[in-house]
Structure 1
Amino acid sequence: MEKLQAALDKARESRTGTAPRAKTPKVRAGKPGQSERDALWAALKPLDLDAPNLEMHRLVTREAGLAATPFDILRTKVFLQMRQNGWKRLAITSPMPNSGKSTTACNLALGLGRQKDLRSIILDLDLRSPSVHELFGTKPERSIGDVLSGEVDFADQALRIGDNVAVSMARDPDKDPTRTLLSEGTAEVIESIEATYKPDIMIFDLPSVLVNDDTRAFLKNVDCALIVVRANATRYNQFDTCEREIAEHTNVLGVVLNAVVDSARSKSE
């Protein structure tokens, strides 16, 4: 694992040796006493979330409560472990589709948003089958693919949820996203976004590992990965293969077992 981390660090150092393709946004005059970082975040277009839509898509962490508690526990464990290791980039993926990875990623982002001293960015990189825009109830004018290609600035495409969560979403399915995810230009844009907005955590919603090569193409750009598996659906051999594949490219932060049925509750009902 130490050799793997050393290789990842070396790769990041080599990436920073080239000029990023993303443009540094112009900072508009902010409020008196407002830092440049605060002004950049405030300049992002706000996204007003619709409560019924959030509930329909099981996004439960915008407010504290019983439903949010499992994700709040996950948020705290993830944040503390990443901070302990000096990690900032988290990939969320699964062995197979329909495991709840995008729901987990969005709930984690909204839960982090309740921590006012933290700033988080979530990026939808499941480009063949994007769903974050559906979960958040809005379709962006331009896609995250346009940001990664350098056609559009992150400042003009990303949306802000509250004061401290930014989201960059895909608009329409991409038939061949590997060319984008594997591109060194994409790595440079990610570096530029991180250097400009200085988030505490960047969350990347990636495709399921075993359906194509998209996630393998991008994992070199993250510090760690969280694997989401679905109870009574994900097979052990699928999880085992997925975990080994991820471990070849980055650190496995942990596993989330989703859709577990409370047997005691189901019997009482």
Structure 2
Amino acid sequence: MEKLQAALDKARRSRNERNASSETNPVTPKIQDNTSASLIARWQALTPFEVQDKHLIRHRVVTRSARKAATPFDILRTKALLQMRQNGWKRVAITSPMPKSGKSTMACNLALGLGRQNDLRSMLFDLDLRDPSVQNFFETRPPHGISEMLSGAVPFEEQALRYGENVAVSMAQRAEADPTRILLAEETAEKLDEIQATYEPDVMIFDLPSVLVNDDSRAFLKNADCALIVVRADATHYGQFETCQREVAEHTNVLGVVLNAYRHDKRAVETA
């Protein structure tokens, strides 16, 4: 009983001290408010860019606004976000067994879909360094390449661009001859930790190379909390998918599998 009373007295004294402080200096902002303002300022300092909707649609990026074509991506966004929150995950890699499966399209759609959530901050990193394509999707060339930023040659705020108020995009300028050197480097892991601590994104999306063509994704997956695997219905063999899933699971959590380019033949259903 005495311990409880002592705790109550301590809490009462603390509350009285805070009240007295606010009376003598009522306009002093809270530390949390200062932190929030500073975070907003850091995001606002990123160079903004814009892209025409018709260009995005030509590249099958349809999530800039709510529309029928965006619905499948919005469902994926919501499912992925809920599962990541449940597990405390912030970083999702997007990969595939083989190239031409639509993983970069998926990554760009997911990033812009998350951007429509005003209370979320998202980042997209183009790490398919042998064949980078994000700058083509957004019709924008960054002032510096992502490799320069990850190696510490340029700071993130000078390399990344901002789409809208809450999506940061770190793009490659050109293909790299030896991406594994960058993706496996400890300084890359440290740089990503620094970016996460500085900008506090809710979701970090990494567009990675296909797993079965080289060792680039294997080199990086340890830095992701989870991964989405994109398979193409008319091209990916089951053996390729099975091998890819096993490889990814060795390095991180498999968030899910996306079946892309599935053609639903309504006439076949009607005549069956």
TM-score class normalised by the smaller sequence: 0.7 to 0.9
* Per-residue deviation, 1:176: 0.4
TM-score w.r.t. the length of structure 2 is 0.85
Residues 145-166 of structure 1: per-residue CA shift (max 9 Å, x gap): 0000000100001000000000
- Corresponding residue SS for 1:121: strand
Gap regions ≥5 residues in structure 1 = 1-31
- Residues 187 and 263 (structure 1), Cα distance of their counterparts in 2 relative to 1, 3 Å cut: same
Residue of structure 1 in register with 2:101 after alignment = 99
| 2:40 matched residue in structure 1 | 38
Aligned to 2:169: 167
Residue identity in the other structure for 2:94:
I
Scaled by the length of structure 1, the TM-score of the pair is 0.86
In structure 1, distance between residues paired with 2:266 and 2:165: 40
Q: 1:189 aligns with which of 185, 188, 191?
A: 191
Moved beyond 3 Å, runs of 4+: 265-268
SS at match of 1:68: helix
Distance in 1, matches of 2:175 and 2:161, equals 19
Q: How does 1:52-67 map to 2 (within 5 A)?
A: 52-67=54-69
Quote the Cα distance in structure 1 between the aligned partners of 2:50 and 2:207.
21
Partner of 1:207: 209
Which is helix-richer, 1 or 2?
2
Q: How far is the alpha carbon of 1:267 from its aligned partner?
A: 9.1
Question: CA 1:33 to 1:99, structure 2 compared with 1: closer, same or farther past 3 Å?
Answer: closer
Provide structure 2 residue ranges, at least 5 long, that are not aligned to the other structure: 1-33
Percent of pairs identical after alignment?
66
Give the letter for the 1:238 counterpart.
Answer: Q
Q: Distance in 1 between matches of 2:267 and 2:258?
A: 21
In 2, the alpha carbon distance for the partners of 1:154 and 1:266 equals 52
Relative contact order, CA 8 A, sep 6+: which one is greater?
Answer: 1
Compared CA separation, residues 128 and 33, structure 1 to 2 (3 A): closer
What are the residue-to-residue correspondences of 1:64-143 with 2, within 5 Å? 64-143=66-145
Hey, what's the Cα distance between the residues in 2 that align with 1:106 and 1:216?
22
Q: Could you tell me how far apart the structure 1 residues matched to 2:39 and 2:98 are?
A: 38
Q: Residues of 2 paired with 1:267 and 1:51: CA distance?
A: 35
Of 242, 250, 260, 1:248 maps to: 250
- Secondary structure of 1:104's counterpart equals helix
Deviations 1:47-73 (A, max 9, x none): 111112101100000000100000000
Change (3 A) 1:185 1:34: closer
| Structure whose alpha-carbon radius of gyration is higher | 2
Q: Deviations over 1:96-127 (max 9, x none)?
A: 00000000000000000000000000000000
Deviation at residue 265 of structure 1 after TM alignment: 7.0
Letter aligned with residue 160 of structure 1: R
Determine the C-alpha separation between the residues in 1 that align with 2:102 and 2:216: 18
Structure 1 CA distance for aligned equivalents of residues 62 and 224 of structure 2: 26
Distance in 2 between the 1:213 and 1:33 partners?
40
